[in-house]
Amino acid sequence: MTATIRSAALIAATVTTGLGAGLFYAFSCAVMPGLRQSDDRTFVTAMQRINVAIVNGWFMISFMGALLLTGLALFLQYRGGDRAPLPWLVAGLALYLAMFVITVAFNIPLNDQLDAAGDPARIHDLAAVRERFETVWVRWNIVRAVVSTAAFGCLSWALVLHGRTSRG
């Protein structure tokens, strides 16, 4: 296995993980605080539309790709004899898996509940629908942002170590 392939896998894993961390960060810092200022109908409508729009090829490439590419980078580094980045790759993969579990266990079910509430024009108690969703979703998104940013940091450091040992 060439160093170029190992490097490419690690770079791709780092970039896709960074894209996901940036998305969750943007939701934490801008999207949700902005929507917090909106009325209930606008909030529910916007979140329902975002939850539909985000399920697209570009997002899925980064969301699922980060997991697969990090696993691949770990495997290639292990098989290629480059041991220095391994602990950081393991930590990055574990953190990304934690974010993935949080998303599947908390954020997606909340998104599904919001969608199941139906058309905002026909929901009788928009405030109750919003209340069941917003606070819990925001909290778990902040956790996702922190955990995925930590994964990005681990992969970034693994990339630095890989670069040092590859030149060696």
What is the tens place of the pLDDT at every residue in 82-93? Answer: 799 999 999 999
The per-residue pLDDT for 82 is 79
Q: What integer is the mean pLDDT of 64-70?
A: 98
Number of domains in the chain: 1
For residue 82, CA distances in Å to 4, 8, 14, 55, 76 come to 13, 14, 17, 36, 9
Which range of residues forms the domain containing residue 129? 3-167
Give the Cα separation of 51 and 87 in Å (integer): 35
Q: Is the pLDDT of residue 168 over 70?
A: no
CA nearest neighbour of 135 among 120, 118, 114, 150: 114
Q: What is the pLDDT of residues 104-134, one digit of tens each?
A: 999 999 999 999 999 999 999 999 999 999 9
pLDDT score of 1 more than 80: no
